[in-house]
Amino acid sequence: MRLLTKAGFGLLLLFVSLAISPTAKADPFVIQTGGFELHNLGNNGTVANGLDALIGTASSSSHTLNGPGSFVATLNNPLTFIEGFTGTGSEGSFNFNFSQALSINGQTQMLDLVGRIDIGTFADSVHILSAAPLTFDFNTFSVAVTVLPADIFGPGDGVFCDVFKAEFTVTNNCNPVPEPATLTLLGLGLAGGAAKLRRRRRLRRS
């Protein structure tokens, strides 16, 4: 009876360890971006230096999340829009594509983004619209990255700043791999139970 009780208790500990393992693995998160620099946005070719530019500063941040869920983190702080003269007759909307490196807990992928600049006669505005889906897969959890749109309006020549962010959604994988320590404890428990059972059988025979 004692043997069955100990075996049941050991199995209960195993299931609890497996249940909490993905949560422990998902905490904390270290997020890093490589930054980017875009120049000559909207330049129609009549200006040598094309003064409209968008610059995202490389950033790093740490976040804590206990279990599955989501949080918002800064990708570039600051996000700087430098507005200048882009050339006579360059008014209109122009799309552009760009990339920057994104790392989560040391795993790095390229975040491919889509933007647009709207050039007016006296004022310009720049927009980060979307990004290709990006998912980071770890041992016991995955992180999906959703870019949050960003807009900066420049009422005239000058430097204008904002912050570029994304939402990070954490989900547990369906089949987590047991921790080595958990497997070791299970093996020791089974071996001890088997040894005790063999000892009882020998005592009964004698």
Q: Which tens digit of pLDDT belongs to each residue from 146-176?
A: 999 999 999 989 999 999 999 999 999 875 4
Domain that holds residue 52: 29-175
Q: Is 14 part of a structural domain of the chain?
A: no
Would you say 66 and 83 are in contact if contact means Cβ atoms under 8 Å apart? Answer: no
Q: Is 110 part of a structural domain of the chain?
A: yes
Q: Is 4 part of a structural domain of the chain?
A: no
> What number is the average pLDDT over the span 172-187?
61
> What number is the average pLDDT over the span 129-143?
96
Q: Is 147 part of a structural domain of the chain?
A: yes
Position 90 pLDDT exceeds 70? yes
> What number is the average pLDDT over the span 14-28?
50
Position 22 pLDDT exceeds 60? no
The rounded distance, in Å, linking the Cα atoms of 145 and 132 is 9
Would you say 36 and 56 are in contact if contact means Cβ atoms under 8 Å apart? Answer: yes
Q: Is 143 part of a structural domain of the chain?
A: yes
Q: Is 55 part of a structural domain of the chain?
A: yes
Tokens coding 61: 């941040």
Q: Is 3 part of a structural domain of the chain?
A: no
Q: Is 192 part of a structural domain of the chain?
A: no
Position 6 pLDDT exceeds 60? no
Position 111 pLDDT exceeds 70? yes
> What number is the average pLDDT over the span 32-46?
92
- Domain total for the chain? 1
Dihedral (CA of 176, 179, 183, 188) sign:
negative
Q: Phi/psi zone of residue 124: left (φ > 0), alpha (ψ -120 to 50 degrees), beta?
A: beta
3-state SS, the chain, equals: CHHHHHHHHHHHHHHHHHHHHHHHHCCCEEEEECCEEECCCCCCCCCCCCCCEEEECCEEEEECCCCCEEEEEEEEEEEEEEECCCCCCCCEEEEEEEEEEEEECCEEEEEEEEEEEEECCCCEEEEEEEECCEEEECCCEEEEEEECCEEEEECCCEEEEEEEEEEEEEEECCCCCCCHHHHHHHHHHHHHHHHHHHHHHHHHHC
Tokens coding 152: 């900066």
